[in-house]
Amino acid sequence: MRLLMLKTASLDVDMKTGPDVHDLTPDLLRLFKELQPWEGIVSICAVGSTASMTTIEFEAGALEDLKRAINRLAPPEQDYRHNLAWHDGNGHSHVQAAFLGPSLTVPIRKGRPVLGTWQQVILINHDNRPRKRRVEITFIYSPPPDE
């Protein structure tokens, strides 16, 4: 029977008005280096109802395409019932974030996150103002096997 370990971490990311995208992959790789998980999963969750997580090739063209698609899914200029209730103008932000979802689970195999060559983990701020976004990360893993 293998021992399972649980470790948590938090990240705070300053983000611009949405949709703004931040590559979390370097932060994740730093945590992998510190924790040295061998086999398991890592769960990455954006805290807040106007933020989301996904993966993409983190390059300018793909990012611009994603931002344009997000704004087509829930255009900021549309009427939203949320805006009538709260008068904060971010109804579209909640809908956009709900479409993409707040979290990802990535497998861990042989000490590495299982991601494609051009696949990065990204955080998206959808809000109509800059935000400091909190990301909660939970590792459930077995340590490296004994040599």
CATH of the domain at 87: 2.60.120.460
pLDDT value of position 1: 60
Q: What is the pTM of this model?
A: 0.94
**Residue 114's CB: how many other CB atoms inside 10 A?**
12
Query: Residue 28 and residue 31: Cα distance in Å, rounded?
Result: 5
pLDDT value of position 2: 74
**Residue 68's CB: how many other CB atoms inside 10 A?**
11
pLDDT value of position 3: 86
Structural domain total, the chain: 1
Q: Taking the alpha carbons of 32, 37, 38, 41 in that order, is the dihedral positive or negative?
A: negative
Q: Is residue 26 part of a domain?
A: yes
Query: For residue 123, which of 9, 31, 41, 12 has the smallest C-alpha distance?
Result: 12
**Three-class DSSP category at 136:** strand
Domain boundaries, position 49: 5-142
**Three-class DSSP category at 85:** helix
The mean pLDDT values, 10 residues at a time, for the chain of 147 residues are 89 97 98 95 98 98 98 95 92 98 97 96 98 98 83
Q: Is residue 97 part of a domain?
A: yes
Q: Is residue 41 part of a domain?
A: yes
Q: Is residue 147 part of a domain?
A: no
